[in-house]
Chains A and B, each alone.
Chain A
Amino acid sequence: MLEVRNLSVNYYVDEGTVNAVAGVTFNLKEGEILGILGESGSGKSTLGFALLRLVDRPGEIVSGEIILNGLDILLMPERELRRVRGAQIAMVFQDPFTALNPVLTIGEQIMEPIVLHQGVKRGEARAKAAEALRAVKIDPARIDDYPHQFSGGMRQRVVIAMALACRPKILIADEPTTALDVTIQAEILALLREIKNQFNLSIIYITHNFGIIRQLCDRVVVMHRGAIVEEGKTHLVFDQPKEPYTKKLVDCLRELG
């Protein structure tokens, strides 16, 4: 479905070069939820952004291939790349409080990718936006409300609706529940599972939380300092971690109960 080979991303900062993603290779299979696990600073978000070529100054993708439908995202011209973003691969972000534009209604924001990619009339886009809201269990009557009228959990649902609006095949979710409290977190995870089946999605789920990976993901890759140190079926990695780093993460989780 999506094949990543030897991907490397550097940040050029005053103190020198940070090799945030260091030669990462993995693939995402159709219909699976793949977890990317690693402690804070291990390069997970950078990897997620790099998959859509969203890495921005002072960062730069220095090598690798990201193959989607036989085409390398890293070699695409800008116009073609924009047709992938939001239409074939969509993203959900960590902080629902800043991921929505405060001056636009949620309807306008959900309609935006539809208008951009499908070139449909506003009325039709609005109907599709309402449908996306229904899919994330928000009353479509609230389509003209502004983000500040929603709670954090509801906003994250709006962000998910925006990501789903064009029916992408792949969803990248970067710690979408980290900013939310535990009950809301469980709701969002349940919602992700549900939309995955409903929309036939493949999901890359990024988190530092092994507990969530166990609940949600079929497979997991473990990242440490920009590199993948271990990869496999979630229960295998959890029951018999091979790498000392993974063992440490598992022990941590066990201690927490």
Chain B
Amino acid sequence: MRRNKAAIFGLAIMAIFLGLAIFAPVIAPYSPDEISSAGASPPSWQHLFGTDDLGRDVLSRSLYGARISLSVGAVAVVIALLLGTLAGAVAGYYGGWVDGSIMRAVDVMFAFPSIFLILAIQAMLTPNIYNVMFVIGLTSWMGVARLVRGEFLRIRQLQYVEAARAIGCGDLRIIFRHMLPNAQGPIIVAATLGMAGAILTESALSFLGMGVQPPMSSWGNMLMDSQAYMRDAPWMSIIPGLLIMVTVLSLYFIGEGVRETLSPKERHAGS
């Protein structure tokens, strides 16, 4: 119950952030690149969140940054979900050597600390927003694959799968129509947690200068820009830091809430 309240809170925060991101051009008091004050100035009525070292409005840059950070997170997680679900479903459904080789690949990918893998790939590509999305997606599908495989191994034992085969369904129909919808709960949980992870990774990448490139703003590269001004202009780091933290926590709350609501029902349907 308490988890559910947290989840609704998280959902509300995410809805608000999404709205702010979508309507950024309407809401933002300044253009994100506009130099509207001489150097860093603290929060004031003209600049609610202050301005950065170049005199750009932090509120406006945060709103536009939300668009970038949230869409990087969303696209990366969609890529990870597609890859992970496909790999996990095929592994869990077919088993045997198919399962063995897919899971071996997962283990190998997991063995590399993903940030190094991402940095290595990013070093070879031009660091633009699309590459950031793809690279994060391509390096974060393994958890989803393991999860979906586990679900498929469990669901495969249930009689309705046997029943589907007995009425003449083919493999694809069984996988996509009969099994996947029954695995959707854990996949939704993985999606919310994965999006939180992707937003953090984008921040880390941008912080290292390998992510979203200026003048485009993301919460991560705003944080990077603030490094040198931590003491003199703390609002420059506090604002994007808080935004990242609140977003990640909200997504975690949503994920945990979904997990909680699903588990009793799943036990009911699964035994």
Residues of A within 8 A of B (CB): 49, 52, 54, 57, 82-87, 90-91, 93-95, 97-104, 112-113, 116-117, 148, 159, 162-163
B160 touches A101 (CB 8 A): yes
**Taking the nearest CB of chain A, how far is it from the CB of B48, in angstroms?**
47
CB closest chain-B residue, reference A78: B170
What separation, in Å, do the CA atoms of A166 and B158 have in the docked complex? 23
Task: Write out the residue numbers on chain A whose beta carbons fall within 8 Å of the beta carbon of B271.
Answer: 97-98
CA distance A95 to B163 in the complex (A): 11
Inter-subunit contact B169/A99 (CB<8 Å): no
Q: How large is the interface on B (under 10, 10 to 19, 20 to 34, 35 or more residues)?
A: 20 to 34
A148 to B178, CA, bound (A): 16
B36 beta carbon closer than 8 Å to chain A = no
With an 8 A cutoff between CB atoms, is B111 at the interface?
A: no
Consensus secondary structure, chain B interface? helix
Residues on the B chain within 8 Å of A91, using CB? 163, 166
Contact check, A93 vs B163: say whether CB atoms are below 8 A apart.
yes
Tell yes or no: B42 within 8 A of A by CB.
no
In Å, the complex CA distance between A159 and B160 comes to 10
Tell me if B78 counts as interface (CB < 8 A to partner A): no
Residues of B within 8 A of A103 (CB): 181-182
Residues of the A chain whose Cβ atoms lie less than 8 Å from the Cβ of B168: 82-87, 113, 116-117
CA distance A95 to B269 in the complex (A): 13
Taking CB atoms, residues of chain A closer than 8 Å to B170 are 82
Can you list 9 residue pairs at the A/B interface with Cβ under 8 Å?
A52-B166, A82-B169, A82-B170, A85-B167, A90-B167, A93-B162, A99-B162, A103-B182, A112-B164
What residues on B are CB-neighbors of A49 within 8 Å?
162
Chain A residues closer than 8 Å to B268, beta-carbon distance: 148
Closest 9 CB pairs of A and B: A86-B167, A85-B168, A113-B167, A102-B269, A82-B168, A99-B159, A86-B168, A91-B166, A98-B159
User: 11 extra interchain contacts, Cβ-Cβ under 8 A, other than A82-B168, A94-B159?
Assistant: A54-B166, A57-B96, A91-B163, A93-B163, A99-B163, A102-B182, A104-B178, A112-B169, A113-B167, A162-B167, A163-B167
Query: In the assembled complex, which residues on chain A have CB atoms less than 8 Å from the CB atom of B96?
Result: 57
Determine whether B95 belongs to the interface, using a CB cutoff of 8 Å to chain A. yes
Across-interface contacts of A83 in B (CB, < 8 A): 168
Query: Complex formed: what's the CA distance from A97 to B270 in Å?
Result: 9
**How far is B160's CA from A135's CA once the two chains are assembled, in angstroms?**
22
B160: chain A residues within 8 A (beta carbon) = 98-102
Judge whether B182 and A86 touch: CB under 8 Å: no
Does A93 lie within 8 Å of B95, measured CB to CB? Answer: no
Q: Which chain A residues border B158 with CB–CB below 8 Å?
A: 98
Give the docked Cα–Cα distance between A98 and B178 (Å). Answer: 12
- A52 and B169 alpha carbons, distance in the complex (Å): 13
Which single member of B163, B178, B181, B182 contacts A162 (CB below 8 Å)?
B163
> B104: CB under 8 A from chain A?
no
- Please give, as numbers and ranges, the residues of chain B lying within 8 Å of A84 by CB-CB distance: 168
B164: A residues at CB distance < 8 A: 101, 112
Q: Which of B175-223 contact A (CB under 8 A)?
A: 178, 181-182
Interface membership of B165, Cβ < 8 A: yes
Query: Which chain A residues border B178 with CB–CB below 8 Å?
Result: 101, 104
> How many whole Å from A53's CB to the nearest CB in chain B?
9
Q: How many Å from the CB of B123 to the closest CB on chain A?
A: 44
